[in-house]
A = this chain, B = another copy of it.
Amino acid sequence: MTNTEKNLTQILHDLEKERSIGIRSKLSSLSPYEIARLLEAMEPRNREILWRMVDQEDEGEVLKELVEDIRQNFINEMDTNQIIAATQDLELDDLADILTDLPDQITDEVIRALDRQDQIRLESVISYGEDTAGGLTNPNILSIRRGLNIKGLIRYLRSLEKLPENTNYIYVINRSNEYIGSVKLVDLFTEDADTSIEEIMDSEIIPISASSSADQVIITFQNLDLISLPVVDKKNRLLGEITVDDVVDAIQDQANSEIFNMAGLDDEDDIFAPVLISSKRRAVWLGANLFTAFVVASAVSLFQSTIDQIVILAVLMPIVASMGGVAGNQTLILVIRGIAMGKIQRSNALRLLSKEMMVSLVNGFFWAIIVSFFAVLIFQTSWEIGIIVGASMLLNIFASAIAGVTIPFVLKRVGIDPALASGVMMTTLTDVLGFVTFLGLATLFLL
């Protein structure tokens, strides 16, 4: 059993026995991330009780870590003062994330409760979207004007009561607040005290533009194994830095939303949301699939008289459709993930297409022979039907390879998330194609 499992089991047990002292002491030993996961793992009734036991100083951090659905519910039940109290210790980028969930009026009040400098900083973060570099930016950094030497800088650092947590770089700016370079904190120990800041400053660190996408931020951090990265606005003015802990969250979110989207789910939904709400959310996806299922059924209905005459066709037709679906899905996942990772792009898509077509032919032929053989053996069909099953399966696998490469690119081109819609399109296509080629060939050659 992992720690998370133990904690959940114990807290659920304590909640049942109403042992609130034990729960409070347990909660204070957990991180906001762990508390958020615990809350997400509970039904609304228990969740409400546990939430009221969270230390007020942890509330803001826990809110930040929760999925949007649950966060929204908690915030709706808090009044403005409670929200201000809960969020006052948050880093400004995290506060900005939470503010997007609040009504405008409360947002204004929360902002007014900040000091003047933080108000300006926060407004600059809010002006960028949540999924941009600007939205991930923490404005609470150390910046200095050029011209100091190491001794002077160290004296300045000593004069500060407290450095921002996890400071790795001090940023050098000019009078207009424009970014010039970054000084690594570590280098202050090894270089001579009289050396000027400009000499040890790293000017090769290229700040990222606040309007860049979160995906671009992730790629940049992975590219360069970064711990932090300065962020500038359009005029090269320093806004703050992105730290790697927020990038870790962004990567996790990116993967989660891709996996959930493939099944028409939203990773920000509460898994224990009320039944009617969850049902409604899932209904759209089921409805879309029902529509495609009717399209498939309509295709089959064209061949009713064929099936009426050779009923074994109805038995074998799911094999053709499902093998096309499975093979196509492999290509699809390869391409969707490849696009997300930057491995597959327009310039190499054609080469991949030709490779996938070859692979599908090799596997198509191989499995066509097997399937023909076993269709005859198990279902005692004629050799003609066996050959038609194999041939239509080969065709279907081949077509699904082409579709697997093509569909994600077409969807991306028209601005639809490939992870969301590719699967439905692929299934519909391989089903229709599988049934039509199989029943069509049978009609052509057997009747």
A-to-B contact residues, CB < 8 Å: 2, 4-5, 8-9, 12, 31, 33-34, 37, 40-43, 154, 157-158, 160-163, 166-168, 185-186, 188-190, 216, 219, 221-227, 244-245, 247-249, 251-252, 254-256, 258-260, 262-265, 267, 271-272, 275-276, 278-279, 282-283, 285-287, 289-290, 292-294, 296-298, 300-301, 304, 307-308, 311-319, 321-323, 326-327, 329-330, 332-334, 337-338, 341-348, 351-352, 355, 358-359, 362-363, 366-367, 370-371, 374, 378-379, 427, 431, 435
Contacts and interface: CB of A to CB of B under 8 A. Distances in A.
Contacts of A227: 166, 168, 227, 244-245
Contacts of A343: 37, 40-41, 271
A248 B259 contact: no
Given A4-B345, A275-B358, A282 B322 contact: no
How many copies of the chain does the oligomer comprise? Answer: 2
Contacts of A298: 378
Contacts of A344: 41, 271
Contacts of A371: 290
A265 B362 contact: no
A95 to B, nearest CB: 16
Chain A, interface SS category:
helix
A352 B275 CA distance: 11
A347 B46 CA distance: 13
Contacts of A347: 5, 8-9, 12
A309 B297 CA distance: 18
